[in-house]
A and B are shown apart, each in its own frame.
Chain A
Amino acid sequence: MAVDSPELKTLPAEDSHLVTYPRFLWECFKISFDGSPLFYAWMTGLTAIALVGVNAWANQMAEGMVLTNMTDHVSWGLYIANFTFGVGLAAGAVMMVIPAYLYDDRDMHEVVIVGELLAIAAIFVCLAFVIVDMGRPDRLWHMIPGLGRFHWPMSMLTWDVIVLNGYLLINLHITGYMIYSRFVGKPLNRKWYIPFVFVSVVWAISIHTVTAFLYTGLGSRPFWNDAIIAPRFIASAFVTGPAFLIVALHAIRELMRLAIPDGAIDTLTSILRVTVWINLFLLASEVFTQFYTGGTHAASAHYLYLGLDGKSGLVPWIWTAIALNLCAAVLLVLPATRAVRGWVVAACVFTFVGVWIEKGMGMVVPGFVPSTMHELVEYTPSLTEWKLTAGIWAMGIGIFTVSVKIAGHVLTGRSGLGSRRIS
């Protein structure tokens, strides 16, 4: 064997994943730390916000959850609100996967990975929110099946752990497989990702359904103990997912200079045009049922929309949300605005914020007000809670930015071993 021949020495090794995979990771690492001044500024900003969050969390761990404004009456607050919203965002990403794979939309197929990467980033955000909400994150291992005591299938929270982590793994696999295959220049083997894509569609629905069941299963809280919560969650997920993705695709096209087909954005806009109205319709059904029946059962809804016994902390929030969602819904159908990019983007931002309020604070907090014994204790998040919330979202946006950047580089052939091989 000609040991000193460089070709013979490196060729077989290059085929081995043991060599190419670390190289792939190294390349990803390099891409994450290399970019334009704008990219540096963006990532530095996000990192700074994330660090403020990390610091707030460290303080919260040291002092206890007193640093939040939660109480025994309102025992879940901004964290769980954001968690719930984040699950919707993760599930909403499937609105790219369905057109791409179920309807064979070519344009969507080209950019579908952006949706899958959003799902990953959103799940990281959700997991972070759950962890910061825990009084004892050091005991997280008590939840690991086998090691701890996993109260499955009784506890809905264990189901949520399964579906969220499952969804994360499925999407990590799909996107990782695609990017890595492209990196080494191998053609995709459908067997290795198509089944997972289909599973991910069903799974996306499941994560938000199970998250809704966390609430609807509690008979003690009439505001949540309602069959409409799960459908509402799904409908609003299909609002936030497309809304975020439309804005993200525009940003990717403008700032990362990647080709984004108009068809993909148009399809997402068409979806959003319908889902914002469905979301509003479900809201209206809920409001009617609550208010027409009245009685103690409707106390939470009263508190949320009108205020109760002089307490009205959530009233401005929820009406802002409704106004934002209505504006977006109208902007998306009016002939004068629905085809104008600026208006569509504005509609996306409006409805994104609208759903964030409605499904976050607007869904979680009224479940506790009035409490199970009809006491009216209000809740406004503390500075610690806001810092942590900003930090976690900054982390999520950072993960999303970097992963899109890596995918863009590799899938457009700017990085990879493939080109070298062909030459």
Chain B
Amino acid sequence: MTEVTRRATVAGLGATLGAVAFAKAMEPLRHFTEDLSLDQFLQRHYRELSPEDLERVLRRIEEDTLRERGAHVSVADDRPIPGVQFGYALNLSVCNGCRKCAEACHHENNHDRSTNQSYIRVFEMEQGSLDFEHAATHYDHAVPAPGKYYMPVQCLQCDDAPCVAVCPVEATWKEEDGIVVIDYDWCIGCRYCEAACPYHARRFNWSEPEIEAEEINPDQGYLSNRVRPKGVVEKCHFCLHRTRRGRLPACAEACPTGARVFGNLLDPDSPIRWVLDNKRVFVLKEELGTRPRFFYFFD
């Protein structure tokens, strides 16, 4: 063998070995691509879908849920109701920290069971302080505890939402009724919004959510509580699949103390308007200029 052919042989051998090793290294990726259909891959942004396209997408999600999770569900697309602007208020004087709201959210919104996920976190606050530095979410004792009060925090549906501003692909936006939503099929999972939200309202799906078929809430919305894919961000959506049909959010319905007041800000007779007109309300981190739609008050 001449020097040149020997070198070529060695190089050829090396290249073949390299290619084989590369294929082997990429092997696990097959699981990912198998789960991803071409339709899913090419799906357009929610706001660009024609009514027919949207219809097809909704039905496909239902089929996928049946095939992959064995659950019969219906996925709807509830649109904002003209003349409705949602707002929420929470009475800190009566909230007793029982976390029934967080639990209701967990079930209503098909959260991952293994992490006991919920869009609501209840902070146990120290009497005399509004500083979260002295607060904890992991309390594990009878409530209400002496010297404490409780502050549930979820997405505040900011009118000037930093999460919406930073998203590089407009996967999250504010709807006409004030709810900030996420297109789970458009989000690229960069988590910039999660870094930008001042209230820790956003969650990332670090893995495929785990949930038994019989526990899945079948009443689902495209922009709300359908089971989320892995690798995307989610957050509270004021239960839009309920509230846009005139029902209360699951958390408000579950609250045993009546601390939660939800409603249409434009309706002068609504309880939320009564609270805003008659109570001294405040919002979290007002100085950041996010203009939340979620108010707190003490009686």
- Interface assignment of A33: CB less than 8 Å from any CB of chain B: yes
- Interface assignment of B66: CB less than 8 Å from any CB of chain A: no
- Interface assignment of B45: CB less than 8 Å from any CB of chain A: yes
- Interface assignment of A373: CB less than 8 Å from any CB of chain B: yes
Given contacts A51-B22, A139-B188, A219-B198, contact A374 B135 (CB under 8 A): yes
Find chain B residues with CB under 8 A from A158 CB: 168
The tally of residues in A whose CB lies under 8 Å from a CB in B reads 61
The tally of residues in B whose CB lies under 8 Å from a CB in A reads 64
Find chain A residues with CB under 8 A from B123 CB: 373
Cβ distance B188 to chain A, nearest Cβ, rounded Å: 5
Find chain A residues with CB under 8 A from B70 CB: none
Cβ distance A298 to chain B, nearest Cβ, rounded Å: 12
Given contacts A61-B32, A64-B206, contact A135 B231 (CB under 8 A): yes
- Interface assignment of A3: CB less than 8 Å from any CB of chain B: no
Contact B168 A139 (CB under 8 A): no
- By beta carbon, the residue of chain A nearest B135 is A374
User: B21 is contacted by which of A51, A72, A136, A368 (Cβ under 8 Å)?
Assistant: A51
Cβ distance B120 to chain A, nearest Cβ, rounded Å: 13
Cβ distance A329 to chain B, nearest Cβ, rounded Å: 32
- By beta carbon, the residue of chain B nearest A391 is B25
- Interface assignment of A375: CB less than 8 Å from any CB of chain B: yes
Contact B195 A59 (CB under 8 A): no
Contact B187 A136 (CB under 8 A): yes
- By beta carbon, the residue of chain A nearest B196 is A218
Given contacts A55-B25, A64-B206, A220-B288, contact A149 B18 (CB under 8 A): no
- Interface assignment of B131: CB less than 8 Å from any CB of chain A: yes
Cβ distance B90 to chain A, nearest Cβ, rounded Å: 16
Contact B232 A136 (CB under 8 A): yes
* Among listed A140-148, A172-180, A228-236, A282-290, interface-contacting one: A140-148
Contact B195 A367 (CB under 8 A): yes
Find chain A residues with CB under 8 A from B197 CB: 220, 372
- Interface assignment of B258: CB less than 8 Å from any CB of chain A: no
- By beta carbon, the residue of chain B nearest A133 is B190
Please encode chain B, from 185 to 212, with 1 for each CB lying within 8 Å of some chain A CB and 0 for all others. 0111111101111111011111110000
Find chain B residues with CB under 8 A from A142 CB: 45, 169, 171, 186, 188
Contact B196 A62 (CB under 8 A): no
Please encode chain B, from 26 to 49, with 1 for each CB lying within 8 Å of some chain A CB and 0 for all others. 111111100010000100010000
Cβ distance A63 to chain B, nearest Cβ, rounded Å: 7
Please encode chain A, from 30 to 72, with 1 for each CB lying within 8 Å of some chain B CB and 0 for all others. 0001100000100010010001101100110111111010111
Find chain A residues with CB under 8 A from B207 CB: 63-66
- Interface assignment of A157: CB less than 8 Å from any CB of chain B: yes
- Interface assignment of B60: CB less than 8 Å from any CB of chain A: no
| CA A250 to CA B174, docked complex, whole Å | 55
User: A221 is contacted by which of B25, B31, B195, B232 (Cβ under 8 Å)?
Assistant: B195
| CA A117 to CA B15, docked complex, whole Å | 24
Given contacts A61-B29, A373-B199, contact A149 B169 (CB under 8 A): yes
Find chain B residues with CB under 8 A from A148 CB: 45, 169
| CA A61 to CA B41, docked complex, whole Å | 15
Cβ distance B122 to chain A, nearest Cβ, rounded Å: 12
Contact A299 B28 (CB under 8 A): no
Find chain B residues with CB under 8 A from A221 CB: 195
- Interface assignment of B279: CB less than 8 Å from any CB of chain A: no
| CA A155 to CA B196, docked complex, whole Å | 11
- By beta carbon, the residue of chain A nearest B169 is A142
User: A157 is contacted by which of B133, B168, B204 (Cβ under 8 Å)?
Assistant: B168
Chain A CB within 10 A, most for which of B22, B32, B169, B205: B169
Please encode chain B, from 111 to 145, with 1 for each CB lying within 8 Å of some chain A CB and 0 for all others. 00000000001010000000111010100000000
Chain A residues close to B by CB (< 8 Å):
33-34, 40, 44, 47, 51-52, 54-55, 58-59, 61-66, 68, 70-73, 75-76, 130, 133-140, 142-143, 148-151, 154-158, 161, 214, 217-221, 296, 299, 367-368, 370-375
For this complex, 8 residue pairs linking A to B, each with C-beta atoms less than 8 Å apart, are A54-B22, A70-B206, A72-B203, A136-B229, A142-B169, A143-B168, A154-B166, A375-B132
Chain B residues close to A by CB (< 8 Å):
7, 11, 14-15, 18, 21-22, 24-32, 36, 41, 45, 121, 123, 131-133, 135, 137, 153, 162, 165-171, 186-192, 194-200, 202-208, 229-233, 285, 288-289
